Amino acid sequence: MTLKDQHLENRDDWRPALTAIIPAYNECGRIGRVLSPLLQAQFVDEIIVVDDGSTDAMAAEVLQIGQGDPRLKLIRHTANRGKGQAILSGFLASTSPVLLILDADLIYLTVQHVEALVGPVLSGEADMAIGVFQHGYFWTDLSHRFTPWLSGQRCLRAALISDLPSQASKGYGFETCVTMLARQKKWRVKRVPWPGVTHPLGILPRGGWSGLRRKAKMYRDILFSWLVIELGWSRPDVGWYKIRRNH
């Protein structure tokens, strides 16, 4: 039985079983390397790209790449709100019980990588799977070896993030917030090796000083997210499902 047949067999309603969410900002010329394998993957029912206030031609590129495929949807923010808010927009627009979240600048991603990541969740073996880079660029491999919990490549059951505090998951704090929630709630988490996959430029941020500022903001958001959850600052009345889709 193929992965597509397996997860279709387990569906109990008409909703998409698996939605891919791609938060993206100014990834023109790069996002196609992520969309191409997703569009080839027949087991992906829905693909939502969230354009987080891009100033380049990325939106037009997304529409051109996905032309003729009804699975692809584009959401556009009028201003840059941050990665966490972009993921939240995709989350609100989806109805799937399983979510696949991918960075928009991945290199060498294949259908096989995607299938390996979603398989443990769709089969019920895990509540969340994390893609871990191996044998790609040295610096990105090193980062994933020592801090795999910062990986932006996730597949997880949507219902499990009902308690995700909205204030802690803003910006770049999403991965930290989800990882800590998984630890607190004792989710079954599986790390999936992704040989050959990486990000561009390794450790060097793109965009000069602007890239360095984004890098600094990323670490600030990660620290804030950790403090909110570890010190109990989160408010239970503003979890994602409290904000969320009443589909």
Residue 238's pLDDT is 46
Contact residues for 66 (Cβ-Cβ < 8 A; gap 6+): 35, 39, 47, 72, 74
The full set of domain ranges for the chain reads 3-164+187-200
pLDDT of residue 203: 42
The per-residue pLDDT string of the chain (247 residues; one tens digit each, 9 = 90 and over) reads 555 455 445 444 445 699 999 999 999 999 999 999 999 999 999 999 999 999 999 999 999 999 999 999 999 999 999 888 899 899 999 989 999 999 999 999 999 999 999 999 999 999 999 999 987 666 665 566 656 667 889 999 998 887 677 655 566 778 888 888 888 889 999 999 999 999 886 444 555 555 556 656 565 665 666 566 665 655 554 455 455 554 4
C-alpha to C-alpha distance for 134 and 193, rounded to whole angstroms: 6
Q: What is the pLDDT of residue 231?
A: 55
pLDDT at 136: 64
In terms of CATH, what superfamily is 3-164+187-200? Spore Coat Polysaccharide Biosynthesis Protein SpsA; Chain A (3.90.550.10)
pLDDT tens digits along 115-157:
999 999 999 999 999 999 987 666 665 566 656 667 889 999 9
User: How far apart (Å, rounded) are the C-alpha atoms in residues 175 and 25?
Assistant: 17
Distance CA 110, CA 219 (A): 29
pLDDT of the residue at 29: 94
Q: Which residues pair with 134 in a beta bridge?
A: 195
- Residue pair 141/134 in contact by the 8 Å Cβ criterion: yes
> Are 85 and 170 in contact, with CB atoms under 8 Å apart?
yes
